[in-house]
Amino acid sequence: MSQILNETDEFWEQTHDFIQWLFPLAESSRLVRNAPILTDSEIKQIRESEIAQTNIQRSVIRSKKFLAGTTKWRSGYDHNHLRISRLIKSLRLLVSDGAAKGFKYLVAGELGDQIDGIYAESQKQWRLA
């Protein structure tokens, strides 16, 4: 995990098969066949583990840094919109509703007036995540 968190923004932009491990879900990934699918027991363990929660927060901090440092995702449709949806869903599942809402607000704040240029389906997925 530390290796991924220390990678460059270029790596994060170009590599598409790591986000599923940083932010796992209880559903299969549409794009990465061998991505983890969490069980109820695993979700409970992650929610109760101080180490897991710390690692999730480290991943969130790196994701925020990536979004703040790149601009491609700020208009139209971009693959990072799917990552944002996954991250919000994972935070809701593994941390709390408040953490998920906080990340949504951060994304909206990063976009500011540019949010109107984001594909409507992406905005819908963020709201539903």
Tens digit of pLDDT at every position of the chain (129 positions): 889 999 999 999 999 889 999 999 999 998 888 999 999 999 999 999 999 999 999 999 999 999 999 999 998 999 999 999 999 999 999 999 999 999 999 999 999 999 999 999 999 999 999
Quote the number of domains for the chain. 1
Q: Which of 52, 69, 59 is nearest to 103 (CA)?
A: 59
Determine the pLDDT at residue 30.
85
Determine the pLDDT at residue 33.
87
The tokens for 88 are 């919000």
Secondary structure letter of residue 15 according to DSSP = -
The tokens for 64 are 């925020």
CB atoms within 10 A of CB 104: 18
Residue located via tokens 């979700």: 43
Rg (Cα) of the chain, in Å, rounded? 14
C-alpha 13: how far from chain center: 13
Determine the pLDDT at residue 42.
98
